[in-house]
Amino acid sequence: MIRAWSSALDGAVRARGAAAGARGPEHRVAALTLAALLFMGGLMGMANLFLDGVLREGASHWVYGSTMALCMAAAVPLVVRKRAGRWHTFGLVLLGDLIYLVLVLSIEDPVRYATPLLLLFPSFVAAWFLGPWELATNMVVTTLVCVVALWPSYDSGVAVALQVGISAGTLNAGALGIYVLRRRVQRLLVATQTLSHLDPLTGLYNRRFLVEQAARVWRQARRDGTRVAAMVLDLDHFKRLNDAHGHAAGDAVLHAVAQSLATTVRPADVLARTGGEEIVVLGLVGDPGEASRLAERLRAAVAGCHAADGHAVTASIGVALTRPADGEDATAALWRLIDRADAAMYEAKQAGRDRVSAPWAPAVRPPSDVSLAVPLPPACDVA
């Protein structure tokens, strides 16, 4: 499970990097900030229409004014939708490059009134919000725009190349640095969030993650018309193992059990260690029979696994089902369901351990596992 988390970390970072289209509050703030910058930039640019000697005579006034109006108009969808998707943001970045190019071609003295530093805004937006290929595309566009903008202002090709290298190089280096910093921050955030959801000993999910998944599971069950099943597994005589062989042996057994269960549960099930030797499985089932079969597979998986030092355990499992109702509190309903499964688990303990107990079925030990009732040698007698 830990290896799966590690391999999924890069995917989670990529997903977070592409989450500009999400509807979370942080993305609403980002969208509104972009809208404010676009509107203010267009409004301030409009002031040049009323200043003598800044813009070139003729059609440049109309082209420039239309471009500034387009800049302000681009802010409207951001305010209405309160989010900026990946392609929308990429379009805004390219629009920023185009606006700078129009500004350079419309102004009398570009070196004085329209330095390439005006491209900082689209460059840094691309670095912070977009993916690697969009950023690379904008870096190429930035270089081309700098060439077009600076070419008329210098007589020598060497001077143009030098100025383009300085301007475009500074912009692209700054954007690349911001992108690398952003990736590191995202990795740290994803790693921190993931670690807060994992049990450090077993690599299983923890109690916090289980609670956070309640709303999703309840919502899916209502949508699909299925039931939610909770299975509480408690390792039999685990304290005896710790007392006889030490906590290192107990930890090794817990880790082996966790690995075995992780390969047995279904991909959509939530497998979490809630404390001590107690593990909870939460999933969706169509009927009680499906829940019983899954619980039996889990019981057999525990009984069949061994730690590296040869120790083994069995598990008593309690099962409970519920059909989520509209409007109920998913978290409260989750704990009520787990309490019922916990009570069923204690019935399995009282019935002899190493068995599954459910309200609709007696806690009977499967005939194929009768041999497990025979005491194991001292090194393995932990059941």
Q: Is residue 201 part of a domain?
A: no
pTM (2 decimals)? 0.60
**Shortest CA distance to 356 belongs to which of 284, 288, 310?**
288
Domain end call among 195, 227, 243: 195
- Tell me, yes or no, whether 200 lies in a domain: no
Does 224 fall in a domain? yes
Residue 135, amino acid: L
* Residues 262 and 360 reside in one and the same domain: yes
Same domain, 168 and 256: no
Q: Specify the residue for token string 């919502």.
A: 219
Give the 3-state secondary structure of residue 282: strand
Domain boundary among 195, 215, 231: 195
Note whether residue 381 is domain-resident: no
Name the DSSP class of 372: G
CATH number at residue 310: 3.30.70.270
Lowest mean pLDDT among 12-16, 59-63, 165-169, 309-313: 12-16
pLDDT digits (tens, 9 = 90+) for 140-157: 999 999 988 888 878 888
The verdict on 186 and 247 lying in the same domain is no
Domain that holds residue 154: 2-195
Any domain includes 202: no
Pair (122, 217) in one structural domain: no
Decide: residue 79, CB within 10 A, 0-12 exposed, 13-18 middle, 19+ buried.
Answer: middle
Residue pair 113/160 in contact (Cβ under 8 Å)? The answer is: no
235 within domain boundaries = yes
Can you give the pLDDT at residue 366? Answer: 53
**pLDDT tens for residues 77-110?**
888 888 878 888 898 889 889 888 888 888 777 7
Residue with tokens 């704990």: 335
* Pairing assessment for the beta strands 315-322 and 356-357 based on DSSP bridges: parallel
Last-in-domain residue among 148, 164, 195: 195
**Domain tally, the chain:** 2
Q: What is the DSSP secondary-structure string of 122-186?
A: HHHHHHHHS-HHHHHHHHHHHHHHHHHHHGGG-S-HHHHHHHHHHHHHHHHHHHHHHHHHHHHHH
Structure tokens, 382: 């932990």
Between the alpha carbon of residue 149 and those of residues 7, 110, 114, 359, the distances in Å are 45, 8, 9, 78
The two tokens of residue 277 are 């030797």
Question: Looking at the structure, do residues 218 and 145 belong to the same domain, yes or no?
Answer: no
- What is the spatial distance between Cα 70 and Cα 295, in angstroms, rounded to a whole number? 62
| 11 and 157 part of one domain | yes
Dump pLDDT digits (tens) for 183-218: 999 899 888 888 889 998 999 999 999 999 999 999
pLDDT band at 331 (very low <50, low <70, confident <90, very high): very high
If asked whether residues 167 and 35 sit together in one domain, one would say yes
